[in-house]
Amino acid sequence: MNKTLLVAQREYLFNLKRRSFLFAVFGVPVFTFVVWAVVFVVMSDSDNTLGANMTYGYVDQSGILADPVTVSDAPQSFEPYADETSARAALDEKIIGAYFLLPENYLRTGEVQSYSYDSLPQVLQDAFKSFLLANLSRGVETDFPVDRIQQPVTLTIHPLDSGRTLTEANLPALVFIPLIFSFVFLMSSNVTSGFLMGGIVEERSNRIMEILVTSITPTQLLMGKILGLGVLGLTQLVVWGGAGLILINVGQQFPFLNGISFPLDLMVVFVIFFLVSYFLLASLMAGIGAVVGSEQESRQFASLISLILVIPFFFLTTFINNPNSNLALALSFIPFTSPITILLRMGFGSVPFWQIAVSLLILLVTTLFVIWASARVFRWGLLLYGKRIGIRQLIRVIWSSPEMGVSHSGSARGNE
Amino acid sequence: MNSNAAISVDHISKSYGSFRAVDDLSFEVYRGEIFAMLGPNGAGKSTTMRMILDILKPDTGQITVLGGPLTESTKDRIGYLPEERGLYRNVRVLEMMVYLGTLKGMSRANAQQSSLALLERLGMADQAKKKVSELSKGMQQKIQFGVTVLHQPDLIIIDEPFSGLDPVNSLVLKDLLFDFKNRGGTIVMSTHQMAQVEEMCDRLLMINRGQQKLYGAVETIRQQYALHAVIVEGQGQWASLPGVSKVEPLQNGRKAVLLHLEPQATADHILAAIAASPDMHIERFEMAVPDLNDIFIRVVEGAQA
């Protein structure tokens, strides 16, 4: 077999079996499932305690509820009480969960008091609001359905340049999707390129590197590693994609998640950006792994790079409010922040095609440069141990591509 | 160039900045021999080995390995044991050996089979499934050497193979080396242990500060450094013998003395004279050929003086 493929195969199989990888691949989706499940349970639970199947009281001193109409399909029912004392007694005996007090001047001020032992859930407030609205609208001469007065706008947004249709029902999903994509992007490119760097640091500090480079060329080693771990990253994506599909199907049961789907354009852009920036990160990490002195030092660099990658998250609200602001535009063109910026912007609004194209082009050129430079640094640094390497030295190495550097055991030591 | 040469090094030099690590070095390693590279620390042994292996390029000069310049396919016919040892740690022994074997061009099945056979020979068959990090240091060193010869190379280059080995494992390694040689393999090894060179090696190269100091067959070099003297042990007035110019007690001999001879005298004359003399008895009589250790020290100290 081709030696590059041998390295790729080894890197893939070895890292596939690692505990940290298995956790990232399977632990994260399971964890997400659990969190979502807990959220649903808590949400439906809060609906039940002070929501459905419960009677609530009201004391009307304003007179508008003298002959009330009820909202037909509401799960909550509202019972009148003559005065506060009787309502309070019913509350204390847990006949009702809460009661509302409409004072005499309600029509003028709109002020309503509520009394309960538990906190008042939003659903109940909404239900009482609907109840009031149904009764108030009787005083208005109109043929319009009460429903329209209660909810005059159900908006469906059509951003014409993206071709996507956004309805109010899937708006919460809308915020989630780009976040999920960005998270998956970060996790998977970080995990794999981190493995790549760790592997190189280990091979250098174990000194097995010297045996490797007398069997294969540094380029074969580098390409094999990038390839093997790239396939590993894709494996992770496939598993997560599958988990995501299951989650969506399960999610259809819940109105909250109804609108969640994977928009195709977002998927395509995601995969392309993922692949290109994986190569960027992997070759960068390989170059760093070839010159840092220790595992610890390499982790510092890795977290620094992750920090740069997540910069777009700091401006999340800016992106939601204005996906086409100057800041968003700038971050879309800077190689390390562009993948996540583009993904977030595409989710929240629409991104003109030319911007995606330019962003991708800049990313691609940067990636090619980093691969080229890293290959030189990689070759040079493989056999150098325990030596601090300055940035100027690195620039010289990238510029002139010297032969492999070695550490000397001799007492008389050269300066480089 | 000798067609019998496994390695031919022709006037190579290598500098790191202003430090001349290897200075106009030429030598050949013949096929099927054990060739020793000697020299104090920092003499340029490892640098020379790395140039032979194409890890480093000589500034000037040429190196031919196994009949030509080093290529990808030549690399598969060479085994290398670097001075600084290392193995993967969190991998099973067999898995690691198979991987390193396949990188040398073996098929997976072949690598697997050879690894198991080698582990058997090393008495480590039951360690195959263990992780490398669980092995003792001695075992790791045996595995390390095993990886060097796993792919049945024609040539192995081993940097200080005996360093850190206990006597038992040294013997195991020595057996493996002779076995490799008997099957026609060529061995280049650097070492500090002169006794090993005298016992095992056919020829040697001694370098100091990157330059050749001694080069040739081990026996020839010892003869070159032979003193015009004999070592005797026994009873007698040695100074009274004809042809003896000076009697010198040997440093670490018990009763042995070194008899320096006059220019025209030979060892045969002295032996005959002792035999003819009734009040002299010898228990030991030998040519004063220094061991390599003495030669090594003499060469290195001579260079520094």
Residue A201 Cα, gap to closest chain B Cα (Å) = 12
| Cβ separation A409–B53 shorter than 8 A | no
What's the rounded mean pLDDT across residues B196-207?
91
Tell me: do A172 and A307 sit in the same domain: yes
Q: What is the ipTM metric for this complex?
A: 0.81
The pLDDT value given to residue A260: 55
Of A14, A404, A411, the CB nearest to B55: A404
Tell me: do A143 and A186 sit in the same domain: no
The string of pLDDT tens digits covering residues A153-200 is 777 766 555 555 666 655 656 667 777 778 888 888 888 888 999 899
The pLDDT value given to residue A157: 66
The string of pLDDT tens digits covering residues B254-275 is 678 888 888 888 888 888 888 8
Residue A404 Cα, gap to closest chain B Cα (Å) = 6
CA angle A310, A312, A316 (to 5 degrees): 120
Residue B64 Cα, gap to closest chain A Cα (Å) = 16
Of A206, A409, A416, the CB nearest to B17: A416
Choosing from A152, A187, A215, the residue where a domain stops is A152
| Cβ separation A207–B147 shorter than 8 A | no
CA atoms within 13 A on the CB side of B256: 16
Choosing from A111, A130, A152, the residue where a domain stops is A152
Question: Residues in chain A with pLDDT < 70?
Answer: 1, 43-53, 71-75, 141-142, 146, 157-175, 251-263, 386-387, 407-416
Tell me: do A258 and A363 sit in the same domain: yes
Query: Per-residue pLDDT for B299 more than 90?
Result: no
Note whether residue A132 is domain-resident: yes
| Cβ separation A208–B87 shorter than 8 A | yes
Query: Per-residue pLDDT for B79 more than 70?
Result: yes
The count of domains in chain A is 2
Chains A and B: how many Cβ contacts under 8 Å?
91
Note whether residue A416 is domain-resident: no
Which positions in chain A touch B54 (Cβ < 8 Å)? 214
Note whether residue A68 is domain-resident: yes
| Cβ separation A215–B100 shorter than 8 A | yes
Query: Per-residue pLDDT for B154 more than 90?
Result: yes
Task: Kindly list the distances between the CA atom of residue A381 and the CA atoms of A93, A311, A401, A410, B246, in Å, as whole numbers in the listed order.
Answer: 79, 30, 11, 19, 59
Residue A48 Cα, gap to closest chain B Cα (Å) = 53
Which residues form the domain of A102? 49-152
Helix segments in A17-139, DSSP class H:
19-22, 28-49, 84-92, 106-109, 122-136
Tell me: do A291 and A334 sit in the same domain: yes
Note whether residue A413 is domain-resident: no
Of B18, B42, B53, the CB nearest to A411: B42
Instruction: Tell me the pTM.
Output: 0.76
**How does residue B284 score in pLDDT terms, banded at 50, 70 and 90?**
confident
Note whether residue A100 is domain-resident: yes
Which residues of B sit within 8 Å Cβ distance of A?
15-19, 21, 41-44, 46-47, 50, 53-57, 72, 75-76, 78, 80, 82-89, 91, 99-100, 102-104, 147
Which positions in chain A touch B16 (Cβ < 8 Å)? 408, 413-416
| Cβ separation A208–B16 shorter than 8 A | no
Tell me: do A225 and A334 sit in the same domain: yes
Tell me: do A270 and A131 sit in the same domain: no
Residue A195 Cα, gap to closest chain B Cα (Å) = 14
The string of pLDDT tens digits covering residues B18-46 is 888 999 999 999 999 999 999 888 888 98
The string of pLDDT tens digits covering residues B225-236 is 888 888 888 888
Tell me: do A116 and A80 sit in the same domain: yes
Tell me: do A381 and A315 sit in the same domain: yes
Tell me: do A8 and A98 sit in the same domain: no
The pLDDT value given to residue B108: 93
Tell me: do A221 and A278 sit in the same domain: yes
Residue A166 Cα, gap to closest chain B Cα (Å) = 51
The pLDDT value given to residue A412: 37
Note whether residue A135 is domain-resident: yes
Q: What is the dihedral of CA B54, B60, B61, B64, to 10 degrees?
A: 10
d(CA A278, CA A195) in angstroms, rounded, equals 12
Tell me: do A231 and A350 sit in the same domain: yes
Note whether residue A390 is domain-resident: yes
Tell me: do A393 and A248 sit in the same domain: yes
| Cβ separation A414–B16 shorter than 8 A | yes
Query: Per-residue pLDDT for B11 more than 70?
Result: yes
Task: Please name the helix (run of DSSP H) or strand (run of DSSP E) that holds residue A66, with its range, or none.
Answer: none
Write the CATH number for A66. 3.40.190.10
d(CA A150, CA A147) in angstroms, rounded, equals 5
Choosing from A90, A124, A152, the residue where a domain stops is A152
Higher per-residue pLDDT: A402 or B197: B197
Note whether residue A158 is domain-resident: no
